Chain A
Amino acid sequence: MSPSNPIIQLTDVRRTYDVGAEQIHALDGVTAAVYENEYVAVMGHSGSGKSTLMNLLGCLDRATSGTYELSGIDTTKMSPSALAQVRNEKIGFVFQAFELLPKLSARKNVELPLIYTQNGAVGRRRRAEEALKRVGLSGRVNHRPNQLSGGEKQRVAIARALINQPAILLADEPTGNLDSKTSREILDLFSQLHQEGHTIIMVTHESDVASQAQRVVRMLDGQIVSDLPVEQDDAYQYRNGGQRL
């Protein structure tokens, strides 16, 4: 895909909530594009609209107005089940709280998206084991989430996000529940995936996490206030373990 064809193209996206008689503009005219193999960090305080943006990008929510094109297809007018299929095939989610099903083994958790895919049964087990291997958990295939450390849980979640070879990987505060050492490992894993060609969008409010990305988008009051390569962003100074350059 050439750089002129973005994977994600947002055009004047607005998302308005009705709270009583009042209207809240969670997203107030967002226009942005993400290209293949970009690593984007979205930063902002709570209430800045970054979570709303993430839900929209993940096709869990719809814009009130404006358009969202994913791989050149307008998702704005899709039916709920078509959106479910988009989530299944094109998007990999990584959540702050991992969201693993406690009664299933690591492998079964990773297999979950395949249940909802056409021909998902084909080689399901093998694919899940491969995905676990990619995130360095070959030895933990049959462990239950409560037998895994936080970092391992997040790796399982990443393996689950990768299993359908999605167009984009959406991570919402993926290190928010982890200690700093484990956070680093997970961020290294994201960098590795980026180098392997994945497109990653990560929401965070921590500068040192954002500094790992290629590009930093800062949001305030539902609008993008800055969109710069990481080298030109304030976060860049945290790149090497929080030491100011």
Chain B
Amino acid sequence: MKKLLFLPIRLVLMAIQNVCVALGQIWSNKVRSMLTTLGIIIGIASVSGVIGSLSGLKAKIITDFESFGLNNIYISPRQPDSGPLKHASPELIKFKPEEFEDLQAHCPSVKQMTRMSSFDAPVSRGERSIENATITCVDAAWIKIESRDVLQGRPFSLIDETQGRRVCLIDEKTRDKLNLDKECVGSLISIDNFNYRIVGLIEGAPDRAFANMGGGETFEVIIPFWSYYQEAKPWFSVIAASKTPELAADAQSEITFYLRRTRNQRPGDPDTFRVDTVGGELEQFDKIMGTITAVAGGIVGVSLLVGGIGIMNIMLVSVAERTREIGLRKAVGAKGSDILMQFLTESVVLCFVGGIAGIGLGYLITLAIRQIPNANLDQAYIPGWAIMMSLAFSAGVGIFFGVFPAFKAARLNPIEALRNE
């Protein structure tokens, strides 16, 4: 009974002792140990570096995603790619403005919404013109949904919205390109040959690293939805905002239910529209990124096998060199299992030390990666799980590649071992 109680303590003491012996052994063969663990160090460093960069990329993209607002729900028409509506006429798929008039009344989680359609068109004022300005047609709620600030003048009013008045909001880049006064509110500009009065100056679109639609320099002009719709009847989409980010998923379901009914979809038919939330997209993205990280890390991790083979090689050398020591230890009472543990511990400690050094090196690599200009990797970091996993993996490599040499040591015949020169 007493023996049983002391067993765990004894095992722990045994382990500590083995680790000390192993560290001593490693220390007394500094150069050799260093060269041996180089494989592990480089392996772990590259895995950490890859995971670090991918994590940085992910963090960056998530920041981008979140700048769209986690409340936002994007609703757009979609031709189903299967089912009876696969060949439905586009007119059936296309959104009609009246389909959204009652949306807010039927979707309690939705706080506000805007229809939205955008196109490129020339904008001019006098001599100055912009060939390809981005014209976005929206409802009054848009400015709140996008959380843009109005720098001068006012946002669209409900009257602007319902009457489709020819008014517009522009950003500073457009103002400067058109050579307007700093105080441009009240000026008239020509959009696609229609005159619009500037009612407000808004701040530019948030700077996004990856999700910047179109890219390059954009000149934004915002006009009321109706002012364009009544002319062109274009395809449009809708952005709704839920009352809180947590309600986004509820709002998504409510909108889907509402739209299916409003668009007279029969049960079982696929949706003729899609409703996406930033949160949902984020989840999707998270999954994809997780897979990419695992695959990339795994491929780089193969280099750890090479490191492991180096460890096995040096452990075999170590066993051969210390044959007499093993013989003596057995003669004074070491069991096969004691010898096995001694060499296994040595191999694990060797790999573990290599793993720690590798993480350190990986951290330096990550720091270096952050400095790469225009790579959008300035948020690169090694996540905690990757550190834990690296350490566990290097210990695993130590066990896997140490078992064979350790078994060899444990099975040595003490008589022959002591006779070994």
Contact = CB atoms under 8 A, between A and B. Distances in A.
B328 A81 contact: no
A103 B6 contact: no
B346 to A, nearest CB: 13
A133 interface: no
A149 interface: no
A60 B330 CA distance: 8
Interface stretch (B59-67, B220-228, B242-250, B334-342): B334-342
B328 A99 contact: yes
A97 B300 CA distance: 49
A118 B3 CA distance: 8
Interface residues of B, number: 25
A99 B333 contact: no
B332 A103 contact: no
Nearest to A95: B418
Nearest to B332: A113
Contacts of B10: 118-119
B331 interface: yes
Interface in B386-415: 414-415
Nearest to A84: B335
B260 interface: no
Contact of B328 (A80, A85, A88, A101): A101
Pick from B324, B329, B338 the residue with the most CB of A within 10 Å: B329
Nearest to A101: B325
A112 interface: yes
Given A55-B415, A121-B13, A116 B24 contact: no
A60 B333 contact: no
A115 B317 CA distance: 24
- Interface of chain B: mostly helix, strand, loop or mixed: helix
B337 A112 contact: no
B345 to A, nearest CB: 13
Contact of A58 (B3, B328, B331, B334): B331
Contacts of B325: 101
B6 A119 contact: yes
B152 to A, nearest CB: 81
Contact of B333 (A61, A95, A116, A121): A116
Nearest to B13: A121
B324 to A, nearest CB: 7
A21 B273 CA distance: 88
Contacts of A95: 418
A99 B327 CA distance: 9
Nearest to A116: B333
Contacts of A164: 333
A116 B28 contact: no
A138 to B, nearest CB: 22
Interface string A78-98: 001100110111000101000
Contacts of A14: none
Given A81-B337, A121-B13, A93 B6 contact: no
Interface in B52-70: none
Contact of B332 (A55, A116, A121): A116
B333 A80 contact: no
Contacts of B327: 99
B162 interface: no
Interface residues of A, number: 26
B212 interface: no
Interface string A53-67: 001001011000000
A50 interface: no
Given A99-B328, A101-B325, A116 B418 contact: no
A226 interface: no
B17 interface: yes
Contact of A88 (B28, B324, B333, B418): B333
Contacts of B334: 84, 115-116
Given A61-B415, A115-B17, A93 B336 contact: no
Given A101-B325, A101-B328, A103-B24, A116 B335 contact: yes
A136 B102 CA distance: 103
A208 B337 CA distance: 42
A113 to B, nearest CB: 4
Interface in A142-178: 160, 164
A119 B334 CA distance: 15
Given A99-B328, A101-B325, A119-B6, A113 B333 contact: yes
Contacts of A113: 332-333
Interface in B334-384: 334-338
Interface centre among B331, B332, B335 (most CB of A within 10 A): B332
Contacts of A81: 335-337
A63 to B, nearest CB: 14
Given A55-B415, A60-B415, A112 B332 contact: yes
Contacts of A58: 331
Interface in A115-148: 115-119, 121
Given A95-B418, A118-B6, A118-B10, A60 B335 contact: no
A168 to B, nearest CB: 14
A231 to B, nearest CB: 33
22 contacts: A58-B331, A60-B415, A61-B415, A81-B336, A81-B337, A84-B330, A87-B331, A87-B332, A88-B333, A95-B418, A99-B324, A99-B327, A99-B331, A101-B325, A103-B25, A112-B328, A113-B332, A113-B333, A117-B333, A119-B6, A119-B10, A164-B333
Interface of B: 3, 6, 10, 13, 17, 24-25, 28, 324-325, 327-338, 414-415, 418
Interface of A: 55, 58, 60-61, 80-81, 84-85, 87-89, 93, 95, 99, 101, 103, 112-113, 115-119, 121, 160, 164
Given A87-B331, A115-B17, A116-B329, 17 more contacts: A58-B331, A81-B337, A84-B330, A84-B338, A87-B333, A88-B332, A89-B333, A93-B331, A99-B324, A101-B325, A101-B328, A112-B329, A112-B332, A115-B334, A116-B338, A118-B10, A160-B332
